[in-house]
């Protein structure tokens, strides 16, 4: 599978989140508690399996810990909090549109940090992405966005925090395996969320076996596999291209809604899906060369020992 295929696969697994999360809400868990469960279980599963199968992947430089904190706390935990807050205070449609301003942030940040060119194809792909997501969410052609300035700012923040995963992930993907990055990101996010989620006060849902089925499904498919594959793709392609490719997520979510939850797809939503797929094609075919992963230059040291 190519780097572009890996990235799209990871984003597609994100799109399957609703299959599990909506059922977890039925058991009485709040959005922040669902996020906490996903991150904590992901941390336990990944560190256990990797520690047994490939323990060397758990070795990192101490100086890179801030990157993992940024990924886990800012790009995953805070992003989810902002995203769910907009859903709660406005609507899912508005939350989705504001979230997928992220490719714009990634393209702009990558232009200055990684010197990635802001090509005509890339700009066109971003425009198609925003238009397509607006159509899918139902805000176009005649939708009205009656929201407060606070909700608008939180929604844009969700897009910004989501964008930072592609940017920060690009730094560490040059040094570490995607499994290593995902494991430590989940660990840092878990440490941040556990004290503020009040999860210990709401353990009753986990007396039901099906709650565990949905929780584990969410962890394995839409968390671990999704982040590992998407992060692996970052090692080979530009951050801005990866962000554009990630917009396949809402399309997958829409298709899940149609096939599983019997949602009805309008003509405008169909057009929006076509626009998003068009943006993906533009992102893929605008590459100028084959991306090859760089070999690590230095041997990694254990996390608890600084390099001297």
**Of 44, 60, 50, 42, the residue nearest 173 (C-alpha):** 60
Mean pLDDT (whole number) for 99-126: 82
Cα 179 to Cα 185: distance, rounded to the nearest angstrom? 10
Residue with the bigger pLDDT between 150 and 300: it is: 150
Cα 276 to Cα 259: distance, rounded to the nearest angstrom? 20
Alpha helix (H) residue ranges in 27-148: 31-53, 65-69, 79-89, 92-99, 102-113, 120-137
| Cβ contacts of 72 within 8 Å, gap of 6 or more | 39, 184, 185, 186, 187, 188, 189, 190, 191, 192
Q: Which residue has tokens 């930072």?
A: 164
Domain ranges (residues) in the chain: 3-285
Q: Which of 121-130, 139-148, 227-236, 291-300 has the lowest mean pLDDT?
A: 291-300
Residues 76, 165 contacting (CB under 8 angstroms):
yes
Q: For residue 291, name the pLDDT band (cuts at 50, 70, 90).
A: very low
- pLDDT at residue 263, rounded to an integer: 67
Q: For residue 60, name the pLDDT band (cuts at 50, 70, 90).
A: very high
Q: How many residues does the chain have?
A: 308
What is the pTM for the complete model shown? Answer: 0.74
Mean pLDDT (whole number) for 216-235: 89
């Amino acid at each position: 599978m190519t780097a572009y295929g890996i990235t799209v696969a990871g984003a597609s697994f994100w799109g399957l989140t609703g299959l599990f999360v909506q059922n977890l809400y039925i058991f009485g868990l709040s959005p922040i508690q669902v996020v906490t469960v996903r991150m904590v279980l992901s941390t336990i599963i990944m560190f256990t399996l990797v520690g047994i199968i490939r323990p060397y992947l758990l070795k990192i430089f101490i100086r890179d810990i801030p990157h993992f904190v940024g990924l886990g706390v800012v790009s995953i935990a805070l992003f989810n909090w902002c995203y769910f807050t907009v859903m709660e205070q406005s609507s899912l449609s508005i939350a989705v549109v504001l979230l997928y301003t992220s490719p714009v942030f990634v393209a702009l940040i990558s232009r200055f940090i990684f010197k990635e060119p802001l090509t005509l194809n890339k700009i066109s792909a971003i425009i198609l992405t925003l238009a397509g997501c607006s159509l899918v969410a139902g805000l176009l052609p005649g939708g009205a966005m009656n929201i407060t300035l606070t909700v608008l700012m939180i929604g844009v923040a969700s897009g910004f925090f989501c964008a930072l995963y592609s940017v920060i992930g690009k730094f560490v993907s040059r040094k570490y395996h995607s499994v290593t990055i995902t494991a430590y990101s989940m660990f840092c996010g878990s440490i941040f969320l556990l004290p503020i989620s009040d999860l210990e006060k709401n353990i009753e849902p986990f007396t039901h076996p099906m709650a565990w089925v949905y929780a584990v499904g969410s962890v394995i498919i839409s968390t671990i596999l999704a982040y590992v594959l998407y992060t692996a793709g970052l090692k080979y392609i530009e951050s801005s291209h990866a962000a554009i490719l990630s917009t396949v997520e809402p399309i997958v979510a829409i298709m899940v809604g149609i096939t599983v939850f019997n949602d009805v797809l309008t003509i405008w939503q169909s057009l929006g899906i076509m626009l998003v797929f068009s943006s993906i094609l533009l992102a893929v075919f605008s590459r100028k060369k084959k991306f090859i992963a760089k070999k690590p230059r230095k041997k990694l040291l254990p996390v608890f020992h600084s390099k001297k």
